[in-house]
Amino acid sequence: MADLRDPRLMCVKAVLFVGIGAIGAALLLLESRTARTAALLALTVWAFCRAYYFAFYVIERYIDPRFRFDGLWSAARFMAVQRRKESGERPAGRSPD
Spell out a b/e string for 31-49, using b for 16 or more CB atoms within 10 Å of the CB, else e.
eeeeeeeeeeeeeeeeeee
Distance from C-alpha of 51 to C-alpha of 90, rounded to nearest angstrom: 27
Looking at residue 76, its pLDDT comes to: 81
Give helix 7-31 / helix 35-53 axis angle, nearest 10°: 150
Looking at residue 16, its pLDDT comes to: 95
Looking at residue 36, its pLDDT comes to: 96
Looking at residue 30, its pLDDT comes to: 96
Determine the distance from the C-alpha atom of residue 47 to the mean position of all C-alpha atoms in its chain, rounded to a whole number: 10
Average pLDDT of adjacent 10-residue blocks, the chain of 97 residues: 84 93 95 95 94 80 76 80 74 48
Distance from C-alpha of 77 to C-alpha of 64, rounded to nearest angstrom: 13
- The model's pTM is 0.60
Looking at residue 32, its pLDDT comes to: 94
Looking at residue 97, its pLDDT comes to: 42
Helix (H, G, I), strand (E, B) or coil at 95: coil
